[in-house]
Amino acid sequence: MRSVISVYVENKYGVLARVAGLFMRRGFNIDSLTVSETEDSRYSRITITMDGDENSREQLISQLTKLQNVRSVKLLGGDSTVEREIMLIKVKNTPENRSEIMAATEIYRAKIIDYTTDAMCVEVTGEPSKIKAFIEVMKPIGIVEMCRTGVVALDRGANVLEK
Amino acid sequence: MIMNGAQIAIETLIEQGVTDVFGYPGGQVLNIYDALYCASDRLRHILTAHEQGAAHAADGYARVTGKVGVVIATSGPGATNLVTGIATAMLDSVPMVAITGNVPTYLIGRDGFQEVDITGVTMPITKHNYFVTKVEDLAETIRDAFRIAKSGRPGPVLIDIPKDVQEAECEYTYAAPYDPIRFAQASEALISEAADMINSAVRPYIYIGGGAAREGLSREIIALADKIDGYIGSSLMGLSLIPNSHVRFLGMQGMHGRYASSRGAKEADVIIAIGVRFSDRAIGDVKQYSKNAKIIQLDGDIAEINKNVSVDIGIVGDITSALLKMTELCEEKKHPNWKKKIETYREYGKAIGAEMEKNAGDTLTPKKILDVINNGKNDNTVIVTDVGQHQMWTAQYARFERPRRLATSGGLGTMGYGMGAAIGAYIAEDERPILITGDGSFGMNMTELATAVTYNIPMIIVIMNNGVLGMVRQWQTLFYDKHYSSTVLDRKTDFVKIAEAFGARGERVDSAESFKAAFERAVSYSGPYLIDAAIGMDEFVLPMLPPGAKMEDIITEDFSSSDVSSDDENEKDGAE
């Protein structure tokens, strides 16, 4: 089961290491982890997507809550959450596949951000499922390399993380 | 007042109510030791022989008093020598503050002499840790460290202070210690649900652990047991909370628990677990554990609920008030059948013990040693152990009447814990502690005899000397075809001469009578006294519930001289 967890942490020395270390030590599997500044410079927000059953998810949330630098932890996901991820994907640019790449880019509302005679770099933004679908389309064309930011997510409406 | 960082550190410790610190000096804590020197009339420093001993001493000090134990060490090897002591405290939730020096900030990351990233090293074994980069932050960091160490579920906190931060100056103002933060009140709805569950049960069993012991809930737990007509079993960490003389107390459960206690947990229809973490050593096979019982768990730490065992009701919050409320809501009950069953288990357990003693004849056995110790100590005596067979024998036979009278490394299982911890226990209370150890464990940190002699600590050291690493050997006997790989010590160490060389006294005994006489001499001696007690290498810790095994698989007979597999049937009969 995939879960998205938002963690509001103090912007202090070693916080990321503490959070990442917890995952390693307790044997949780992270799919992605992002850290960024928030509206308040004293705090950062960590968004984690993980795979695991309900029990290990509850354990993880409880263990995260115990870290001294963690202010609050919230399980996101489902209809009440907006999720986005950015991917940069570089594909081979050949006369045969050029039009296909451009068509896919158009349909996925992605952007070509770099273009040379032998490669193109496409920026795709969207939910992880969209990113995944775009990768599938590019696979037969020939992916040179790719990079994803990992999921960022917020509650819809006026709901906020307890701070 | 303007002070340098080292002085601020010492002033802040004093402000936090610290009267004794354990430690070992070195290059990067010279400033702190200078400040200690100037404050020696207000803060006593106990110099150990090794930093590990200092960490265990701070731990022992904290376990018997409930106060925060403090240890100081230098950078690099000084700091890494604390690691085992810090992890020991972490696993048993002991409040501790460790202060280390480090190379100056401008040298950090350059692998300077005796530099180690100790905050990185100790991240997973501390409740929290700090690397202080500005002298202005120092006092507040130390105050925070104390608050964290003693709040909620206690634990060790490490503060790493680079040398230039110790030297830098800033304004220091006194501040009163923060009150520890207690766990929030538990959900009343869940408490009342739990009470309903208990009210409809007929075989209630209360399982207590370190969390209950720390809160000193003896009377409260006995009151609940009396009201619901239940019995009390304990984890290793829960020992000494309920008096052994109490009729409702069945002793330790688990791998080497008392028969009645482990059996009680198996046969119960409701288990009220208070401040326990369901360690694998205490419950055996997680899936099999009391699968016919409803389990109610009370704990302050939310992460303990459903961590090892899935429970029916998990009550998170302040366990003292939750327990009182729950007791109030429970109905007065009588369960004569349960009582009868428990009595049968007790009798059976006693019979196993009596049989073992009968077979032993006149030879000196662990049980006989513990009998002498029980008779020779008073209710206030702290018993300290190391780790191994002697620890389990102590857990089985030592009798406690008051809380916080046992200091033992339960979670981490640290051989070598005892010498330091006993020193710490004495420094805390000025009361003669008894260290029960083994020849293996004692060999690890016996260098702390130097400390015991220097501070003239009247501790009694009882070495249950079987010449082997008995616990591992027991496993090899039972599960590894008697392949005694590296467990037969065959050392020529003369512990009596060692004691004398350190300036302590010692003697070697090999019979119950001579042990009793030696113990009397030890009690009347004013300094550390070592008794090297020879016991048989085939003494087993029994009963034994093999790892991951069901209660039916309990081993109650000594198999050292027979073939284990052929006795399978008898084993099962014996347990039923």
A46 and A87 part of one domain = no
Closest chain B residue to A21, measured at CA: B124
Nearest to A62 among B120, B148, B303 (CB): B303
Contact B256, B358 (CB under 8 A): no
Q: Cα(B65)–Cα(B17) distance, rounded to whole angstroms?
A: 13
For residue A67, the chain B residues in CB contact (below 8 A) are: 128
Q: Cα(B498)–Cα(B517) distance, rounded to whole angstroms?
A: 21
- Residue B574's pLDDT is 35
Closest chain B residue to A60, measured at CA: B303
DSSP structure string for A110-151: -EEEEE-SSEEEEEEEE-HHHHHHHHHHHTTT-EEEEEE---
Nearest to B123 among A21, A59, A62 (CB): A21
A66 and A33 part of one domain = yes
The whole-angstrom distance between B307's CA and the closest CA on chain A is 7
The residue behind tokens 């001993």 is B53
Burial group, residue B319, by CB count within 10 angstroms (0-12, 13-18, 19+): buried
- Residue B490's pLDDT is 85
- Residue B563's pLDDT is 40
Q: Cα(B302)–Cα(B317) distance, rounded to whole angstroms?
A: 8
Contact B279, B361 (CB under 8 A): no
How do beta strands B69-73 and B96-102 pair? parallel
Of the candidates A26, A44, A76, which is a domain's last residue?
A76
Query: In a 3-state reduction of DSSP, which class is residue B285?
Result: coil
A52 and A87 part of one domain = no
- Residue B558's pLDDT is 64
The whole-angstrom distance between B128's CA and the closest CA on chain A is 7
A106 and A125 part of one domain = yes
* B317: alpha, beta or left? (left if phi > 0; alpha if psi -120 to 50): left
The whole-angstrom distance between B123's CA and the closest CA on chain A is 7
Nearest to A59 among B128, B131, B307 (CB): B307
A65 and A95 part of one domain = no
Q: Do A13 and B131 touch (CB under 8 A)?
A: yes
Of the candidates A42, A59, A76, which is a domain's last residue?
A76
Q: Do B303 and A55 touch (CB under 8 A)?
A: no
Q: Do B123 and A55 touch (CB under 8 A)?
A: no
Is residue A107 a part of any domain in this protein?
A: yes
Q: Can you name the residues that pair with B385 across neighbouring β-strands?
A: B436
- Residue B562's pLDDT is 42
The whole-angstrom distance between A50's CA and the closest CA on chain B is 18
Segment B192-216, tens digit of pLDDT: 999 999 999 999 999 999 999 999 9
Is residue A95 a part of any domain in this protein?
A: yes
Which tokens belong to B319? Answer: 């366990």
Contact B256, B239 (CB under 8 A): no
Q: Do A55 and B306 touch (CB under 8 A)?
A: yes
Locate CATH 3.40.50.1220 in chain B: 188-344
Tell me, yes or no, if B148 comes closer than 8 A to chain A by beta carbon: yes
Q: At A66, which CATH number?
A: 3.30.70.260
Contact B163, B4 (CB under 8 A): no
Is residue A102 a part of any domain in this protein?
A: yes
Contact A109, A146 (CB under 8 A): no
Tell me, yes or no, if B516 comes closer than 8 A to chain A by beta carbon: no
Q: Do A14 and B119 touch (CB under 8 A)?
A: yes
Is residue A108 a part of any domain in this protein?
A: yes
Q: Give phi and psi for A10, each to the nearest 5.
A: -70, 140
- Residue B555's pLDDT is 85
Q: Do A58 and B306 touch (CB under 8 A)?
A: yes
Q: Cα(A86)–Cα(A150) distance, rounded to whole angstroms?
A: 7
A43 and A70 part of one domain = yes
Q: Cα(B428)–Cα(B18) distance, rounded to whole angstroms?
A: 11
Reduced 3-state DSSP string for B300-340: CCHHHCCCCCCCCEEEECCHHHHHHHHHHHCCCCCCHHHHH
Closest chain B residue to A59, measured at CA: B303
- Residue B369's pLDDT is 98
A125 and A60 part of one domain = no
Which of B102, B128, B151 is the best residue to mutate to test the A interface, defined by the most A CB atoms within 10 Å of its own CB? B128
DSSP letter for B382, please.
P
Locate CATH 3.40.50.970 in chain B: 2-171, 361-534
Q: Do B124 and A66 touch (CB under 8 A)?
A: no
Nearest to B302 among A14, A55, A65 (CB): A65
For residue B307, the chain A residues in CB contact (below 8 A) are: 59
Nearest to A25 among B120, B124, B127 (CB): B124
Q: Do A63 and B303 touch (CB under 8 A)?
A: yes
The whole-angstrom distance between A76's CA and the closest CA on chain B is 20
pTM of the model: 0.94
Which tokens belong to B280? Answer: 């694998």
Please report the number of interchain residue pairs, chain A to chain B, with beta-carbon separation below 8 angstroms: 31
Is residue A157 a part of any domain in this protein?
A: no
Q: Cα(A134)–Cα(B113) distance, rounded to whole angstroms?
A: 53
Q: Residue type at B8?
A: I
Q: Cα(B457)–Cα(B429) distance, rounded to whole angstroms?
A: 11
Q: Cα(A118)–Cα(A114) distance, rounded to whole angstroms?
A: 11
Tell me, yes or no, if B128 comes closer than 8 A to chain A by beta carbon: yes
For residue B123, the chain A residues in CB contact (below 8 A) are: 14, 17-18, 21
A38 and A98 part of one domain = no
Q: Catalogue the active-site residues of B.
A: 51, 113-114, 163, 471
DSSP structure string for B364-399: --HHHHHHHHHHHS-TTPPEEE-SSHHHHHHHHH--
Homologous superfamily (CATH) of B2-171 is Thiamin diphosphate (ThDP)-binding fold, Pyr/PP domains (3.40.50.970)
How many CB atoms within 10 Å of residue A40?
Answer: 11
How many CB atoms within 10 Å of residue B304?
Answer: 25
Give the helix/strand (H/E) hosting B498. helix B495-502
Of the candidates A76, A97, A131, which is a domain's last residue?
A76
For residue B119, the chain A residues in CB contact (below 8 A) are: 14
Question: Can the peptide bond before residue B543 be classed as cis, meaning omega within 30 degrees of 0?
Answer: yes
Q: Give phi and psi for A82, each to the nearest 5.
A: -100, 135
Closest chain A residue to B303, measured at CA: A62
A39 and A87 part of one domain = no
Question: How many folded domains does chain A comprise?
Answer: 2
Sign of dihedral through CA atoms B419, B421, B424, B430?
A: negative
Is residue A160 a part of any domain in this protein?
A: no
The residue behind tokens 């009969």 is B573
A96 and A134 part of one domain = yes
Closest chain A residue to B309, measured at CA: A55
Homologous superfamily (CATH) of B188-344 is TPP-binding domain (3.40.50.1220)
Find the length of chain B: 576
Tell me which residue range forms the domain holding A6. 2-76
Q: Cα(B296)–Cα(B196) distance, rounded to whole angstroms?
A: 11
The whole-angstrom distance between B182's CA and the closest CA on chain A is 14
Cα A105 to its chain centre, rounded Å, is: 20
Burial state string for A95-128 with b = 16 or more CB within 10 A and e = fewer than 16? eebeeebeebbeebebeeeeeeeeebbbebebeb
Query: In a 3-state reduction of DSSP, which class is residue A115?
Result: strand
Closest chain A residue to B147, measured at CA: A68
| pLDDT tier for residue A1 given thresholds of 50, 70 and 90 | confident
Is residue A29 a part of any domain in this protein?
A: yes
Tell me, yes or no, if B175 comes closer than 8 A to chain A by beta carbon: no
Nearest to B128 among A55, A59, A68 (CB): A68
Homologous superfamily (CATH) of B361-534 is Thiamin diphosphate (ThDP)-binding fold, Pyr/PP domains (3.40.50.970)
Is residue A13 a part of any domain in this protein?
A: yes
Torsion angle of the four alpha carbons B48, B53, B59, B60, in this order, in degrees rounded to the nearest 10 = -80
A53 and A105 part of one domain = no
Nearest to B303 among A13, A17, A59 (CB): A59
Q: At A103, which CATH number?
A: 3.30.70.1150
Which tokens belong to B60? Answer: 């022992």
A69 and A135 part of one domain = no
Tally of CA atoms within 13 A in the half-sphere of A42 that contains its CB: 4
Q: pLDDT of chain B along its 576 residues, tens only?
A: 999 999 999 999 999 999 999 999 999 999 999 999 999 999 999 999 999 999 999 999 999 999 999 999 999 999 999 999 999 999 999 999 999 999 999 999 999 999 999 999 999 999 999 999 999 999 999 999 999 999 999 999 999 999 999 999 999 999 999 999 999 999 999 999 999 999 999 999 999 999 999 999 999 999 999 999 999 999 999 999 999 999 999 999 999 999 999 999 999 999 999 999 999 888 877 777 878 899 999 999 999 999 999 999 999 999 999 999 999 999 999 999 999 999 999 999 999 888 888 888 889 999 999 999 999 999 999 999 999 999 999 999 999 999 999 999 999 999 999 999 999 999 999 999 999 999 999 999 999 999 999 999 999 999 999 999 999 999 999 999 999 999 999 899 999 999 999 999 999 999 999 999 999 999 999 999 999 999 999 999 998 988 877 777 888 876 554 443 333 333 333 333
DSSP letter for B566, please.
G
Query: In a 3-state reduction of DSSP, which class is residue B480?
Result: coil
Contact B21, B61 (CB under 8 A): no
B278 vs B213, B236, B282, B298, CA distance in Å?
Answer: 15, 11, 6, 12
